[in-house]
Structures are given as structure tokens and as C-alpha cells.
Structure 1
Amino acid sequence: MSRELPSPTGRRTFLKGAAGALAVPAAAGLVGALAAPARADDTGLPDFAPVPAASAGPAPNSDGYYVGRISGHLYWVTDTYYQAMFLTTTRGVVLVDAPPTIGHNLLRAIDDITRANGRPSRVTHLVYSHSHADHIGAAGLFGPDVERISHAATAGLLARAADPNRPLPTVTFRDRYRLDVGGETLQLAYHGPNHSPDNIFVYAPDHATLMLVDVLYPGWVPFKNLAVSQDIPDWITAQRIAMDYPWKTFVGGHLGRLGVRADGTRQIQYMDDLEASTRAAIDSVDPSPYFAKYGAQGNAWAIFRTFLDAVADTAAAPVAAKYAGVLAAADVFTKDNAWALLESLRIDAGVLGPFGVRP
């Protein structure tokens, strides 16, 4: 939305007088960048709010992983940073994702379970949620004979990457794929781009469990810059699509615990609050000082940097305060998330603030 600013330092007045200055390169450094977080101890690192007890998951074992049953023959494994999910079947193991931080502990976790339940331990099928290396970068551990299943777009992305740790899929699909192995079923679905162009929904209907990676973060705020998602509007839509599934248990691919439906509802409310606060901040933060100072130096990027940072700060403050003690890391990433949402509102939704149509 475009609005006229107060004279004489309003956008219309200033741009008229400073058009020449903006065209001149300036060597002046940035001024007004946000201060570093307070240093709390001799490590030189900042302190953040404690993680709420409800956001933490089970403690890993001495090897650095936790494996637990979700339902029946469906299990999950975490190292508190990443998660994978697997089914033991009468024919072998169906694994969804292979995060490298878990790495060889995936093999140990699978062996723990299959030795206990007497089912075959060999991984026969590996589902890729999407192409990103932090989620499937240990796929090469399972050898050349495993059937690797992904969305069609994942194949192209992996071919471009040429990463031996992420072997190309052997089976791809575009909209829906039903995987039936040894009495167990997974329903794979593509609902369009979200976090990445190829990210899929993995639903275990017999276990009322949905795995969707990098979209919902049970007990936590989303990772930096809204999970570094490539399509923010569709990433937001994917949260609501996830809630349309009749799941009771959610596997999000990150952090140390499983999700319940209240977690999805809470993240959607967080995002609604963040959007409302960001829209309000675009209107309330006066851009005049940023245009006046950095425009005179011919430093257009400094105008954008300082104004957008100020809007993100203003937008994040009430949201971080509201969710402190409710969602872990509300003080860590809410400003970054506000910044990413602000950019999406500008370039995707046309909420341009002082960068709107020139008067």
C-alpha cells in the first residue's frame, strides 16, 4: 500500500529533491544497524529464554538418538535436531528421510526395533520428503538396492546437485502415490510448492500420522526466515492443508518431539498474529529518516536495510512477547520470521509501504 508521508521529509518531497543523490555511489558505511544481543557470560554468546518443558522431547540415549513407537509398526527416531519415520513390515523397512545428523544412528535405531519385534531389518524402501540435503543427506548409507521414492521435481533437483549422498530416486510421482509394503501403507501426496518446490505430504492412514517436513514445528516457532521457504504464501497454505488431514500424530522432521493437533492450531495462530503485526508495522514505522539519511548518501540498499529491519523489529516485539514461554525460541527467530513475512507481503501480496507507486 502506498501512502504520502508528512512534509517536508515525506517520501514525495524527499525523492523529488534527492533523485540525483540516489544515483551517486557512496562509500559511507551503514549506520543504525541493530545492536548485537546482550552478552551474558564469558563465552561472548548471547543468552536466550529457556526452552519450555512442553517443547522438549525425550532424552536421547548414550549414542545420541531416541527411537520410539508411534503406533503399531510405525516408529520415529530423533537426535533432538532432526527426525525420521519408519515402518517395519513383513518384507523389510520403509524409511522416510535420512537426516545426516542422525546418520548411522538410523541403522542402530532400526536394528533396535526389528530385533525386538522379529521383523526384517533391511531398508527396502526410502521415501524422500524433498530434495534438501539436511533431510536426506544420509540416503547413501542404504546401498544401491533400496527403492527410493520421491516427487518428480525431486529427481530433477537431485540430478542437478549430483550429490552421491543423495542418490537419485528410482520411482517418482506427480500428484499421488500409494506405497503398500508387507501389510503397511503410506499415502504420498503433492499439494504444490511450499517450503521447497517438491515437498510432499506423507500420511500413514492406519496410524493416523502425518509427516510433513519444514512446515509445522510442534512446540517451537518456525526456523529462521519462515523455514527458509521458497514460496511463503504456499508455505502458509500448507499449514492449513496439513490440518485438513485426519491425523493425531505429526512428524515435522525437526526438533525433539512429535506433534499433536493443538500444535498445528497454535502455529497457525502465531502466523496470523505475525502477519497482523507486520502489516501494522508497515503502516506505523516512519520511513522518512531512512530516506533522508541514506538517500543523501546515494545508498539505496541502506534505506531498504534499515527501514525493513525497523519494521521487522516493530512487528516481532509483541508477537515474541505473546509467545514467550509458549513456543520455544520465540525470542530467537520471530524477528527473522517477521522480516521474511514482510518481504513476502511486499513482493507477493503487493503491500509495498513506502516503496509503492511513485506519486
Structure 2
Amino acid sequence: MVTDGRYQALFSVTDCSSVIVVDAPPTIGANLLHDIGTITSFPVTHMTYSHSHADHILAAGLIAASNPNISIIAHALTAEQLALAPDPHRPAPTTTFETSYTLTISNQTLELAYHGPNHEPGYIFIHSPHHRILMLVDVVFPGWLPFARLAEDQSVPGYILAHEQILEYDFTTFVGGHLNRVGTREDVRIQQRYVQDLYNTSVHAIGLSAEASGPLSIGKMLPPVAEANPGNSWALFRVYLGAVVEFVAEDVGTRWNDRLAGADVFGVSNAAAMVEAVRNDWGVLGPFGTAE
């Protein structure tokens, strides 16, 4: 693994004069080729994209320029995402797949797999079975709270499920694509417990808002807002959701602020993402649910 303390890339040296690279973050950029050069003089013959986001593959053009015959492997949906916003710094994949793809170059094998909606369309798991390494970018952040809004994941249910999917793999080393170290199976379990706590607390908080009394009761909270903002439904929702998110962030923070780094930075943002997912994906609407 190569890291600058903020982003991470992976590479494998084969015994047949070639190198396989996974991702090429722009903050690492040309240093990735330099670091590979400190290990071997073999060229990079294959590169895999974990997904399309520029912050993880914007230096792919630099890697590709080092070998005009390079093969770039990605999920078909990643290729579609890149085609929507063509970028010479992120060359189009030369090989795509739908469900799984095994890349074997002599003594090195990477198993690539798509397990459904998660961070973005085409987002894949990258497994090195021989080395027992799993790379999954933008889901688990070993030792840290997830990035803002649960790492900006497009499917929070898929994001939660990903923790179980990760633990189904045989690995001892986890590469999450961010920050300053690799992870372990226990790091995955710790974040899984945090995310489940966030979900449970969000469900609880929305339930409190449906009660007749209490700090989150809309019966007490919203009438003054409606009076001050006649006919403005967005004002009502802003106050209501703001109160629920604040409650969730503070409650979860009492259990996690001293356990995961950065909880003081993204605790509120992650609570907001989970509250919205609980409402819209799981249908827990509290006082705004179906009237009986």
C-alpha cells in the first residue's frame, strides 16, 4: 500500500516482469510511480479502478502514460459513470465486467466483485486471496469516524450491508482507501457497531418526535415555528429534522467521541445522513407516517 496519510493506493509486483495497480489518487500522483520504482523496475501493465470518483483515480492518466499498452479493469457501471463526464486524467477502462472478474498475472491474483448498491454505481470489492488483503474504498475508515454523510454513500442500506459483506471475505489486512493506516477485521466490526448504534438511535429519536410530550415532540416544537413562518413547510421540517439530528449526534457521541477519531468533525453530518435514510429507505416516519 502507498499512502500520503489522506489517501491510499495498492500495487502488486508479479514474477513475470509486471505490476498491477489499484487506484491512483491525485494527492499521491507521480509519487506512486516513484514508490513502485523503489521496489521494482517492472512496468505497470494492469490498473484497476475501485470506482469512478476523481479523488481516488484522478492520477490514473499518469500511470497509463507510463505504458501505452496498459490494461484498465473496472465495473461496467464505472465505465458508464466516466463516460458521462469524460476526463483525460481518468482514462476509460479497457476491460469491464458485470458481477465478478478474476485478474491473474502469473503469481498474483485479484478477485474483483460487485455486490450491489453502495457508495456509487460500479463500486467494487478487491480481494487478494493469496495475501489475504481486502480493499474496499470509502466504507470503513480504520480508527476513524466515516467521512461526511456516511462517506457520501448513495445507498445507506447498501452501506450498512457492506460491513457484513466485508466480513464474509477471508482477509487479515483491510485497505479502506483513506487516512493513515491499514485495518483489521476488528476495525470493521468496530465501525459496524458504530453504524448500527447510529441507526438504532435515529429510529428511537424519530419515535420520540411522535410522542405527545418530550424534547422532540412535534406537538410542542412546531406550533411556534408555524406561527412565525405561516405557510412555510420547509421551515417546519428544518426545525424538526435539525432537532432530531442534534439529538442523535449528541446521544451517539457520548459513546463514540472517545473511540473513533474525527467524531467531533463528522458526527452531526453522519447523523443527518442516517436520519434521512431511516425515514426514506426504511420508512420510519414517526409523526409523518401513514395515518390510521
Q: Which segments of structure 1 move beyond 4 Å, counting only runs of 4 or more?
A: none
Note if 1:294 corresponds to 2:225: yes
Q: How do 1:2-17 residues align onto structure 2 when only pairs under 5 Å count?
A: none
Which TM-score applies when normalising by structure 2?
0.92
Aligned mates of 1:329, 1:233 — CA distance in 2: 23
Task: Output the aligned Cα RMSD.
Answer: 1.3
Aligned mates of 1:102, 1:139 — CA distance in 2: 11
Cα drift, residue 324 of structure 1: 2.2
Note if 1:315 corresponds to 2:239: no
Q: 1:112 aligns with which of 20, 32, 38?
A: 38
Note if 1:84 corresponds to 2:39: no
- Whichever residue aligns with residue 162 of structure 1, its letter is P
Query: Which structure would you say has the larger Rg?
Result: 1
Which TM-score applies when normalising by structure 1?
0.75
Write out per-residue CA displacement over residues 278-315 of structure 1, whole angstroms, 9 at most, x where no aligned residue: 11111222123443133332221121112111111111
Partner residue, 1:141 = 62
Aligned mates of 2:195, 2:264 — CA distance in 1: 15
* Structure-2 change in CA distance of 1:145 and 1:293 (3 Å): farther
Note if 1:266 corresponds to 2:197: no
Write out per-residue CA displacement over residues 329-354 of structure 1, whole angstroms, 9 at most, x where no aligned residue: 11211211111011011111100122
Aligned mates of 1:185, 1:137 — CA distance in 2: 24
Aligned mates of 1:84, 1:341 — CA distance in 2: 29
**Residues 294 and 300 of structure 1 are in contact (CA less than 8 Å); yes or no, is this contact kept in structure 2?**
no
Aligned mates of 1:344, 1:314 — CA distance in 2: 16
Cα drift, residue 215 of structure 1: 1.0
Note if 1:125 corresponds to 2:49: no
Q: 2:130 aligns with which of 194, 206, 211?
A: 206
Cα drift, residue 358 of structure 1: 4.5
Aligned mates of 1:281, 1:92 — CA distance in 2: 54
Cα drift, residue 185 of structure 1: 0.7
Cα drift, residue 167 of structure 1: 0.8
Cα drift, residue 101 of structure 1: 1.2
Q: How do 1:1-359 residues align onto structure 2 when only pairs under 5 Å count?
A: 76-89=1-14, 90-114=16-40, 120=42, 122-142=43-63, 143=65, 144-284=68-208, 285-296=216-227, 297=229, 298-358=231-291
Partner residue, 1:52 = none
- Whichever residue aligns with residue 247 of structure 2, its letter is T
* Structure-2 change in CA distance of 1:358 and 1:293 (3 Å): farther
Write out per-residue CA displacement over residues 244-286 of structure 1, whole angstroms, 9 at most, x where no aligned residue: 1011000000111000111011001101111111111112221
What SS class does the counterpart of residue 350 from structure 1 fall into? Answer: coil
Identical pairs, percent: 49
Q: Which has the higher contact order (CA 8 A, sep 6+)?
A: 1
- Whichever residue aligns with residue 353 of structure 1, its letter is G
Write out per-residue CA displacement over residues 8-50 of structure 1, whole angstroms, 9 at most, x where no aligned residue: xxxxxxxxxxxxxxxxxxxxxxxxxxxxxxxxxxxxxxxxxxx
- Whichever residue aligns with residue 97 of structure 1, its letter is D
Aligned mates of 1:305, 1:100 — CA distance in 2: 37
Aligned mates of 1:318, 1:167 — CA distance in 2: 45
- Whichever residue aligns with residue 113 of structure 1, its letter is I
What SS class does the counterpart of residue 357 from structure 1 fall into? Answer: coil
**Residues 159 and 168 of structure 1 are in contact (CA less than 8 Å); yes or no, is this contact kept in structure 2?**
yes
Partner residue, 2:211 = none
What SS class does the counterpart of residue 130 from structure 2 fall into? Answer: helix
**Residues 99 and 138 of structure 1 are in contact (CA less than 8 Å); yes or no, is this contact kept in structure 2?**
yes
Partner residue, 2:212 = none
Aligned mates of 1:133, 1:244 — CA distance in 2: 29
Aligned mates of 2:47, 2:199 — CA distance in 1: 37
